[in-house]
Amino acid sequence: MQTKKIVNDGARAVEEMLQGVLAAHPRHIRAVEGSPRSIVSLNGPRPGKVGLVIGGGSGHEPTFLGFVGKGLADACAVGNVFASPPPDPIVECAKAVDGGAGILFAYGNYAGDVMNFDMAAEMLAMEDIEVRTVLSTDDVASAPPGEREKRRGVAGNFFVFKAGGAAADRMLPLDECERILRKANDQTYTVGVALAPCSLPQTRRPNFEIGPDEMEIGMGIHGEPGVERGPLRTADEIVDDIIDKIFAEMAPSRGDRVAVLVNSLGSTPLMELYIMNRRVAARLADRGVETHATWVGNYCTSLEMAGASITLHRLDGELQSMLDHPCDCAMFRAG
Amino acid sequence: MQTKKIVNDGARAVEEMLQGVLAAHPRHIRAVEGSPRSIVSLNGPRPGKVGLVIGGGSGHEPTFLGFVGKGLADACAVGNVFASPPPDPIVECAKAVDGGAGILFAYGNYAGDVMNFDMAAEMLAMEDIEVRTVLSTDDVASAPPGEREKRRGVAGNFFVFKAGGAAADRMLPLDECERILRKANDQTYTVGVALAPCSLPQTRRPNFEIGPDEMEIGMGIHGEPGVERGPLRTADEIVDDIIDKIFAEMAPSRGDRVAVLVNSLGSTPLMELYIMNRRVAARLADRGVETHATWVGNYCTSLEMAGASITLHRLDGELQSMLDHPCDCAMFRAG
């Protein structure tokens, strides 16, 4: 059975989405002339400022598109659904936001994205634009401890990009922006749970199979296999499992401060996310960890996938200051 | 087959959600002491200010809870899933935010809500607190033209509450707040489309039946019957049908200004909403109507129902000023 979707032509879904996005947010973003998959902040880029360029496949909205704006990303290269953008729109993003202080690439660690962003960096180097790259690798379940560099980037992107965007907006030099963004990634831990698949607009077929009473811990945002499949458990049991996995690695001490993101993969509603957050807050309090701020909602989705993820982002003074730095984006505001 | 949900005990879902909401948003909201279903803005209410009290059933988040904050609602009475709150928490909301300038009730036009808010108003009158009531009636498909007072309130609540909250935040007297909120409602038109049902956490059973290839125009946010059921059409066809219905009644003139809300009923993702918005923007441009601002996302949901609604809110200078007035709520910021 095909999934019902409100689309015209599945093959044109990303183009048409982008047209709708630009129509909705004319005060925040524009497309680069002649490069419709390169979306640029109207208010962020300026001379002397490091340009933060993010990007990746579509279908995770508001990631990545929604985080373009002053105080966060300067530009976003937009791929097809669940597919990396090619080098050209990435290059066009970088050129459009180049303020002469260098470009910082930040995106999730997926082979296709790495290949395309690296090619873009080489093309930019030939034009004497310096590029640094930080891959987000917050998905704890996607590789064992000690192999963090193999992990995927998921909802924790939100905190990673936020830190880098704040650093750049404060006119810090490229070295510092890179250091801060890298530190933010090192302090970001996400584990997800999937309950039901999504389907791509081109096929409208489920992107994975899962039993009517099953859930899977650690599944990726494109349906990559997780670490445990089993019967659907209660919200508290699910949160405990996720938090145990995060704590095992993060090893928070009493008095540590964190920011929390409880994220829907798509169709899991706010009611369920807040029920999860109740338990997250209790677990953090039990551990003596202070919660500086909490976000709950659709931040990094997989179209209409059912499920959620929990991210903890450990703060020091510097990261807290970056998190609290104001931003004003197409689909997100803070500060 | 039961719907999968991340819950503990369906009967306690609203209580647990509220605990999670309060844990997430301690800088914005609190529960009234001894009345956990009465949620109050920390920063909005003050002496001399009209208190705006909203409320209704749970399951529509971020409506109503998420719109409590400075510049929008002062308090929200929280019912069970898809059920009106009883009078007591409504009374407690009003008392908690009473600044001596009167209380304005604003909520969707549903029999249960009307009964309970009216009882609350009578109880408050006995304590010499003056209450005015405005029912939102933006759902064009829920009653014929000429019977607007019978219509339900749906996603357009967002604009209606926003106008009233701005008026109150500007310290306008009760008469003026009521007039502006009523005018905002008169200028707000919503039509929805449903593709797939939701299920309540208590039962986890679909709340209506719909064929695998069907959609229904005009269905209400609790699954109330709509006006046309038929095969799923393209995004452009759906938007055209909805916009035609709204234009037929709103009769916009060239040069009119509107605000737009393209709202997900729950599991319909941003990609599809933006594809819809592309067509909304084109239809408004064709008609010579200026779009002042556009919101796209989950604003008035029905748990995980699939589908969307489009709201047009016609602005004059006064309503535009109210819409642009800043607000800072638990789940929404603007201005």
| Residue A59 contacts residue A81 (beta carbons within 8 Å) | yes
**Is A236 in Cβ contact with B8 (below 8 Å)?**
yes
Q: Is A324 touching B (CB cutoff 8 A)? A: no
- B96 and B142 share one domain: yes
* For residues B53-80, average pLDDT: 98
**Is A6 in Cβ contact with B281 (below 8 Å)?**
no
pLDDT digits (tens, 9 = 90+) for A195-251: 999 999 999 999 999 999 999 999 999 999 999 999 999 999 999 999 999 999 999
Mutate to test the interface with B, among A2, A6, A12 (most CBs of B within 10 A): A6
- B113 and B175 share one domain: yes
pLDDT reported for residue B227: 94
- B249 and B135 share one domain: no
- Residues sharing a CB contact under 8 Å with residue A276, sequence separation 6 or more, in sequence order: A235, A238, A239, A262, A308, A310, B6, B20
Closest to B271 measured CA to CA, from A79, A194, A85: A79
Give the rounded percent of residues in chain A with a pLDDT score beyond 90: 97
Q: Is B234 touching A (CB cutoff 8 A)? A: yes
Q: Is A57 touching B (CB cutoff 8 A)? A: no
* For residues B238-253, average pLDDT: 98
**Is A304 in Cβ contact with B20 (below 8 Å)?**
no
Under DSSP, is residue B16 helix (H, G, I), strand (E, B) or coil? helix
**Is B8 in Cβ contact with A270 (below 8 Å)?**
no
Which chain A residues have a beta carbon less than 8 Å from that of B280? 23
- A177 and A196 share one domain: no
Q: Is A111 touching B (CB cutoff 8 A)? A: no
Nearest Cβ partner for B20 among A6, A17, A278: A278
Closest to A7 measured CA to CA, from B231, B279, B272: B272
* For residues B193-212, average pLDDT: 94
pLDDT reported for residue A2: 81
**Is B297 in Cβ contact with A298 (below 8 Å)?**
yes
Q: What is the DSSP letter of B86?
A: P
Q: Count of domains in chain B?
A: 2
Q: What is the DSSP letter of B139?
A: B
| Residue A217 contacts residue A227 (beta carbons within 8 Å) | yes
* DSSP-assigned letters across all residues of B190-230: EEEEEEE--B-TTT-SBSS---TTEEEET--TT----SEEE
**A276: enclosing H helix or E strand:** helix A270-286
Which chain B residues have a beta carbon less than 8 Å from that of A215? 4
Residue where a domain terminates, one of A187, A204, A232: A187
Q: Torsions phi, psi of B172, nearest 5?
A: -70, 150
**Is A269 in Cβ contact with B301 (below 8 Å)?**
yes
- Identity of residue A177: C
Q: Is B254 touching A (CB cutoff 8 A)? A: no
Nearest Cβ partner for A6 among B13, B23, B272: B272
**Is A20 in Cβ contact with B278 (below 8 Å)?**
yes
Nearest Cβ partner for A304 among B17, B262, B269: B269
Which chain B residues have a beta carbon less than 8 Å from that of A2? 212
Q: How confident is the model at residue B210 (pLDDT cuts 50, 70, 90)?
A: very high
User: Is A245 inside any structural domain?
Assistant: yes
Residue where a domain terminates, one of B129, B164, B187: B187
Active site residue B325: no
Q: Is A215 touching B (CB cutoff 8 A)? A: yes
User: Is A126 inside any structural domain?
Assistant: yes
- A179 and A211 share one domain: no
* pLDDT greater than 80 at residue B131: yes
Kindly list the distances between the CA atom of residue B100 and the CA atoms of B24, B70, B179, B181, B307, in Å, as whole numbers in the listed order: 30, 18, 19, 19, 42
* For residues A309-330, average pLDDT: 97
- A59 and A165 share one domain: yes
Nearest Cβ partner for A308 among B6, B81, B303: B6
**Model ipTM?**
0.98
User: Is A330 inside any structural domain?
Assistant: no
Out of B28, B60, B313, B325, the active site residue is B60
**Is A296 in Cβ contact with B8 (below 8 Å)?**
no
pLDDT reported for residue A160: 98
User: Is B3 inside any structural domain?
Assistant: no
User: Is B334 inside any structural domain?
Assistant: no
pLDDT digits (tens, 9 = 90+) for B162-183: 999 999 999 999 999 999 999 9
CA distance A291 to A288: 10
- B175 and B218 share one domain: no
User: Is A2 inside any structural domain?
Assistant: no
CA distance B221 to B198: 10
Average model confidence (pLDDT) across chain A: 97
* pLDDT greater than 90 at residue A1: no
Question: Nearest CA of chain B to the CA of A117: how many Å?
Answer: 24
- Residues sharing a CB contact under 8 Å with residue B269, sequence separation 6 or more, in sequence order: A59, A61, A266, A301, A303, A304
* DSSP-assigned letters across all residues of A90-112: HHHHHHHH--SS-EEEEEE--HH
Question: Nearest CA of chain B to the CA of A67: how many Å?
Answer: 14
Question: Nearest CA of chain A to the CA of B299: how many Å?
Answer: 11
Kindly list the distances between the CA atom of residue B320 and the CA atoms of A288, B79, B167, B295, in Å, as whole numbers in the listed order: 47, 31, 12, 14
Closest to B256 measured CA to CA, from B309, B179, B311, B320: B320
CA distance B190 to B229: 18
Question: Which CATH number does the domain housing residue B160 bear?
Answer: 3.40.50.10440
Q: How confident is the model at residue B153 (pLDDT cuts 50, 70, 90)?
A: very high
Question: Which CATH number does the domain housing residue A242 bear?
Answer: 3.30.1180.20
pLDDT reported for residue B335: 74
Give the rounded percent of residues in chain B with a pLDDT score beyond 70: 100
- B208 and B161 share one domain: no
Element counts in chain B: helices (H) and strands (E):
8, 15
- A132 and A52 share one domain: yes
Question: Nearest CA of chain A to the CA of B130: how many Å?
Answer: 33
- Identity of residue B303: L
* For residues A254-266, average pLDDT: 98
Out of A25, A28, A60, A313, the active site residue is A60
CA distance A12 to A20: 12
* For residues A298-314, average pLDDT: 98
* DSSP-assigned letters across all residues of B294-320: EEEE-SS--TTBEEEEEEEEEE-HHHH
Mutate to test the interface with A, among B64, B270, B300, B312 (most CBs of A within 10 A): B270
Q: How confident is the model at residue B296 (pLDDT cuts 50, 70, 90)?
A: very high
* pLDDT greater than 90 at residue A101: yes
- B34 and B157 share one domain: yes
CA distance B37 to A11: 47
In this structure, how many other beta carbons lie within 10 angstroms of the beta carbon of residue A288?
11
- B114 and B162 share one domain: yes
pLDDT reported for residue A319: 98
Structure tokens, B256:
């009119």
pLDDT reported for residue A334: 86
* For residues A301-305, average pLDDT: 97
User: Is A272 inside any structural domain?
Assistant: yes
Question: Nearest CA of chain A to the CA of B258: how many Å?
Answer: 13
Q: What is the DSSP letter of A86?
A: P
Q: Is B204 touching A (CB cutoff 8 A)? A: no
Task: Report angle CA B251, B255, B258 to the nearest 5 degrees.
Answer: 65
pLDDT reported for residue A120: 98
- Helix pair angle (A317-324, A157-169), 10° resolution: 80
User: Is A5 inside any structural domain?
Assistant: no
Residue where a domain terminates, one of A187, A205, A231: A187
Active site residue B25: no
CA distance B53 to B11: 26
Q: Is B195 touching A (CB cutoff 8 A)? A: yes
Out of A25, A222, A313, A325, the active site residue is A222
Q: How confident is the model at residue B29 (pLDDT cuts 50, 70, 90)?
A: very high
Instruction: Name the residue range of residue A60's domain.
Output: 10-187
Out of B222, B292, B313, B325, the active site residue is B222
Q: Which chain A residue lies closest to B232 (C-alpha atoms)?
A: A4
pLDDT reported for residue B43: 94
pLDDT digits (tens, 9 = 90+) for A69-80: 999 999 999 999
- A159 and A304 share one domain: no
* For residues B28-35, average pLDDT: 98
Nearest Cβ partner for A235 among B8, B24, B274: B8
Closest to B137 measured CA to CA, from B117, B115, B109, B112: B109
Q: What is the DSSP letter of B57?
A: E
